[in-house]
Amino acid sequence: MKKTKLDLRYKAKRRWGYNYSLDFQSREWKSYFAVKSRAEEMFGPSVDTTRRFLFKDDAALLKTGAWAYKYTRSNDPSVLYFREEKDLDHVLMMYGLTYTG
């Protein structure tokens, strides 16, 4: 798991306005889904940023939502995006408190 502050090189920052990311390597898939489920519980559902075609509601959710995700079924890292660092830290804290190993 790697926490990163995004700059304009990242599509998630340029297109959707997310400022922080949490990268998971392919072997950390259990942690990825556990943290993603914590984010869904705390902030509600979100949309995958890698889809080519988005409905108007999904695009509006990506532009205003507190978090989003990027999941690819390959060896590429999976990513969770957050607008604010406090939201990212809150999700990580809740994941750490409820982690069962």
Encode pLDDT of 73-100 as tens digits.
889 999 999 999 999 999 999 999 987 7
Q: What share of the chain in percent tops pLDDT 70? A: 99
pLDDT band at residue 6 under the 50/70/90 scheme: very high
Neighbours of 87 (CB within 10 A): 17
> What is the pTM for the complete model shown?
0.92
Instruction: Show the tokens assigned to 97.
Output: 């408190």
Separation of alpha carbons 30 and 28, rounded Å: 6
Separation of alpha carbons 99 and 101, rounded Å: 6
As a residue count, the chain comes to: 101
Sign, Cα dihedral of 9, 87, 58, 25: positive
Q: pLDDT tens, 56-79?
A: 999 999 999 999 999 988 899 999
